[in-house]
Amino acid sequence: MPAKASSKTLISIVGPTAVGKTALAIKVAQHLHTQIISADSRQFFKEMEIGTAKPSPEELAAAPHHFISSHHITELFSTGDFEVQAMALLTNLFEAHDQVVLVGGSGLYVNALLNGLDDLPATDLSIRAALNDEFQAEGLNGIKARLAALDPEYYAQVDQFNTQRVIRGLEFVLSTGKKLSSFQSNSKKPRPFNIIKIGLNKDRQQLYNQINQRVDQMMDAGLLEEVKRLLPHRELNALKTVGYAELFDYLDGTCGLVEAVNKIKQNTRRFAKRQLTWFRKDEEIKWFAPEQTTEILDYIDQYRSDNL
């Protein structure tokens, strides 16, 4: 954690999908009269509205948000890009605010801003080519199985529908003999601000029920129509993700609509479980239930008081 000399603090709010991070982030931002940086790797993209559960117009109006609909799906936007752009944004925000809120469930992007990313060793491009050939011929399951065996930490948090990221993880370990996760988790660049880490979690069955309800709400809001509009772009990495991949399968005729929706629910629940596995590794996170707003605000205020 940075030295106490800094008067600036970044408040990081993490947890599984659908747990209530957005609502809490807005309450914290309003309490502190500050702004919010999103670290959700899917909400960056303008064209992906319904399936990414972006904050509503009312929520966006309740507190200023950044990195929501900030990029097009045709743009490559890596964790390294996010680190550079978010650090530049933070510098500007800290000129007017002593505290800024970071919220999101994408562990790699949260880590990039809190800890920084290492300069990675070069990988063997012939291995990447071979893995891409394997994917085209046999699909992703074999690659995923090898990645799970060789780098289970990276496998636990990667978006398993994102072919490029899955292949990247296996390519790295096969090329270097080292886990990509070891670079991402051990990197600790000094930051010129304090960091408060807050995690949200709740009873697993309650969380799973909320996930199922959210998927139903997405379908009612027009997710299928959104996916149909994006069908010409389905090969883009941004769209190889839960909520879109399953409905592309439905549109291909490989499954029925009810089956596709059930798969979205199942895959989202699995994703939530992987998110928790990732964040629980960080012993600096203080965990709360989503409804403990008063306790969370007291915790933040006490931390700020102790570090002035």
Residue list, annotated binding site for ATP: 15-22
Annotated binding site: 15-22
Query: How many C-beta atoms lie closer than 10 Å to residue 237's C-beta?
Result: 15
Angle (CA) 18 46 201, round 5°: 15
Token pair in block for residue 184? 């991402």
- E-strand stretches of 71-218: 99-103, 194-200
Measured distance CA(36)–CA(34) in Å, rounded: 7
- Binding site for substrate, by residue number, is 17-22
Q: Which of 195, 190, 189, 198 is nearest to 10 (CA)?
A: 195
Is there a contact between 53 and 304 (Cβ–Cβ < 8 Å)?
A: no
CB 122 within 8 A of CB 148: no
DSSP 223-281: HHHHHHHHGGGTTSGGGSSTTTHHHHHHHHTSS-HHHHHHHHHHHHHHHHHHHHHHHTT
For residues 166 and 160, the answer to whether their CB atoms sit within 8 Å is yes
Q: Which of 268, 275, 209 is nearest to 52 (CA)?
A: 268
Phi first, then psi: give them for residue 102, nearest 5 degrees: -110, 130
